[in-house]
Amino acid sequence: MRLNRYISSTGLCSRRQADELIKQGKVKVNNTVAVIGTDVSPDDVVEVNGKLLKGKSEYVYIALNKPRGVVCTTERHIEDNIVDFVNYPERIFPIGRLDKDSEGLILLTNDGGIVNKVLRSTNNNEKEYVVTVDKDITDEFLKKMSKGVKIYNPVRNEYAITNPCKVVKINNRAFKIILTQGLNRQIRRMCTKLSYKVVNLKRIRIMNIELGTLPVGKWRHLTDDEVENLFRIISSEEPVQKY
């Protein structure tokens, strides 16, 4: 792997910034000052500003298409917990939650440093869902969902209006919604408030990571580009949104 890509894959910086560090002589490979275009292997020792760099190979980033019924917890005594379901040979944990009754994309990792950055609500980063409800969708429903719905927030022990969001009708009983909040069971509670019941809820995107054609119950490792872009987004001062 090229050195700039290796550095970027650890989440330290972008490839362009890595090239600048290399040009400035701040990067060493096996105790030798590196140059642009250097290739590295998993056995090489890479230092940036005198600090040993942990390679991506020590971290795991997984995208799972979670089925309904699987619980997003690391507590192994809980039936149908996500850790036993994935059965990965190393200890991993989910980044955030997806309700037991919901399905779709959830990320798992053994990189504790990334979790809080992904979950910080102040980043306003997008999560996209496809939702099916129990009766025909009206224009009034779409308008109210997109403008915000007053629901109870148990964390603050108060009622609050959800943030404005993008809602697009798919058919008479299904819609897409893009949230920048992460309130507990938010979509279900918004729908309930408007006298609708969620029949099926599937998350199809988290920031730059898309569920795509990944089958239900299957998982895959994130690509190098996905990891690099994910770190770029969570390290940015401004939210990075697709739509």
Identify whether 99 is a catalytic site residue: yes
Report which secondary-structure segment, H or E, holds 199: strand 198-206
Report which secondary-structure segment, H or E, holds 179: strand 174-179
Enumerate domains of the chain plus CATH numbers.
Answer: 3-56 (3.10.290.10), 61-121+208-223 (3.30.70.580), 126-206 (3.30.70.1560)
pLDDT digits (tens), the chain, 243 positions:
788 888 877 767 878 889 999 999 999 999 999 999 898 887 788 999 998 886 555 688 999 999 999 999 999 999 999 999 999 988 899 998 899 999 999 999 988 778 777 776 555 789 999 999 999 999 999 999 999 999 987 777 888 899 999 999 999 999 999 999 878 899 999 999 999 999 999 999 999 999 999 999 999 999 988 988 888 888 764 444 444
| Catalytic, out of 99, 111, 139, 225 | 99
Cα 112 to the center of its chain, rounded Å: 14
Q: What is the pLDDT of residue 238?
A: 46
b/e sequence 178-216, b meaning 16+ C-beta within 10 Å: bbbeebeebbbbbbeeeebebeebbbbbbbbbebeeeee
Q: What is the pLDDT of residue 240?
A: 45
Q: Which residues have a Cβ under 8 Å from the Cβ of 72 and sit 6 or more positions away? A: 66, 82, 94, 96, 97, 98, 100, 106
Phi, psi of 220 (to 5 degrees): -145, 160
